[in-house]
Amino acid sequence: MDNNEIYVSLDVGTTEVKVMIGEISAGILNIIGVGKAPSTGIKKGTVVDIDATVASIRQATEEAERMVGVSINQVVVGINGNHIELQPCQGIVAVSNPNKEIDQEDIDRVMDAAQVVSIPRDREVVDIVPNQFIVDGYDEINDPTGMIGVRLEMEGMLITGSKTVLHNLLRCVEKAGLVISDIYLQPLAAGEIAVSKDERSLGVALVDIGGSQTTISTFKDGSLETLNVAPIGGAHVTNDLSVGLRVTKAEAERVKVEHGHAYIDDTSDEVFATVHPMGGHEPEEYSQRDLAHIIEPRMEEIFEIIAEELTGIGDIPGGVVLTGGTVMMPGTLELAREIIGRNIRMAIPDYIGVREPRYTNGVGLIEFTHLHVRMNEMDEMVVATHDEEEPPAYRKTRNPEKQRVPQEEKESLGVKKRVRSFFKVFFE
Q: Alpha-carbon distance 177 to 156, whole Å?
A: 34
The CA angle 130-131-133, to the nearest 5 degrees, is: 80
* Nearest to 134, CA basis, from 99, 174, 107: 107
**Superfamily for 1-81+162-195+349-428?**
ATPase, nucleotide binding domain (3.30.420.40)
* Nearest to 13, CA basis, from 77, 101, 88, 96: 77
The 8 Å CB, 24+ separation contacts for 166-170 are: 166/79, 166/83, 166/124, 166/126, 166/426, 167/426, 168/46, 168/47, 168/50, 169/12, 169/47, 169/53, 169/77, 169/79, 170/77, 170/422, 170/423, 170/426
Q: Alpha-carbon distance 95 to 299, whole Å?
A: 53
* Nearest to 40, CA basis, from 14, 18, 60, 66: 14
Residue type, 245: L
Confidence of residue 422 (pLDDT cuts 50, 70, 90): low
Beta carbons of 52 and 37 less than 8 angstroms apart: no
**Superfamily for 230-346?**
ATPase, nucleotide binding domain (3.30.420.40)
Reported as a single tens digit per residue, the pLDDT across 62-102 is: 999 999 998 999 999 999 988 999 999 999 999 999 999 99
Reported as a single tens digit per residue, the pLDDT across 214-246 is: 999 999 988 999 999 999 999 999 999 999 999
**Percentage of residues in the chain having pLDDT higher than 70:** 87
The CA angle 107-109-110, to the nearest 5 degrees, is: 65
* 374 vs 320, higher pLDDT: 320
* 341 vs 237, higher pLDDT: 237
Helix (H, G, I), strand (E, B) or coil at 408: coil
pLDDT at 2: 58
Domains of the chain, by residue range, sit at 1-81+162-195+349-428, 230-346
Is the full-model pTM beyond 0.75?
Answer: yes
- Sign of the CA dihedral 27, 33, 37, 41? negative
Across 200-217, b (16+ Cβ under 10 Å) vs e yields bbbbbbbbbbbbbbbbbb
In this structure, of 124-128, 176-180, 285-289, 301-305, the range with the lowest mean pLDDT score is 124-128
pLDDT at 309: 94
**Who contacts 27 (Cβ-Cβ below 8 Å, separation ≥6)?**
none
* 399 vs 54, higher pLDDT: 54
Beta carbons of 126 and 79 less than 8 angstroms apart: yes
Mean confidence (pLDDT) of the chain: 87
Edge-to-edge strands, sheet with 85-94: 85-94, 151-162, 123-135, 138-141
pLDDT at 130: 92
